Copies of this chain bind each other. A is one copy, B any other.
Amino acid sequence: MAQYNVAPLEKLVDEFEKMPGIGHKTAQRLAYYVLNLSKTEAEALAAAVTEAHSKIHYCSRCCNLTDKELCPVCSSATRDQSQICVVETPRDATAVENTREYKGVYHVLHGAISPLNDVGPDNLTIKQLLKRLGDGGVSEVIMATNPTVEGDATALYISKLLKPMGVRVTRLAYGIPVGGDLEYADEYTLAKALEGRNEI
């Protein structure tokens, strides 16, 4: 049906289809949604895209996303700057933030070491993390990378670099999830939960 396409509409559908988790039908629905917007609304959407892209960059300290020199967490006077939580992505930092339990600061690696995907230590923000520790004042680094092969390897790699600097390096606890069911826990998780058992 290529001969009956409306070019600007198809282009918009194509752009939406490139997005993660958006198939052709959803892309079409989104494109029709855009067409039904008022002129102001459509311009607001386009402006939000360009603005977010041009204004947001890495925090000069923790490499999280921000539109200022320092991100809100790094520039907060109430956060404990001596405790650094190392995460893979900004979304992981948000997840930790949403627990409302963590009062320290973050360091965002922007990935994990993965030789298969051509991601080595130099592609991550490890250098910046080492610089922060070199500046002093850090007492603990919590490795909160994902519980995957890549996340574990990255945590191990970084901990080996940090240990000689005399800083305490910890890792998030593995175990059965709250509200989970032992019957359905996989054997690795259950083994880790046994290994890390606590006195009650």
Measuring CB to CB, which residues of chain A are less than 8 angstroms from any residue of chain B? 1, 3-9, 11-12, 14-15, 19-22, 26, 28-35, 37, 39, 42-56, 65-67, 71-73, 76, 89-91, 94, 97-98, 100
Contact = CB atoms under 8 A, between A and B. Distances in A.
A4 B49 contact: no
B21 A71 contact: no
A109 to B, nearest CB: 15
B49 A34 contact: yes
Contacts of A35: 52-53, 56, 65
A71 B46 CA distance: 26
B1 A56 contact: no
A67 B33 contact: no
A6 B98 CA distance: 15
B6 A66 contact: yes
A137 to B, nearest CB: 21
A88 to B, nearest CB: 12
Contacts of A66: 6
A52 B91 CA distance: 31
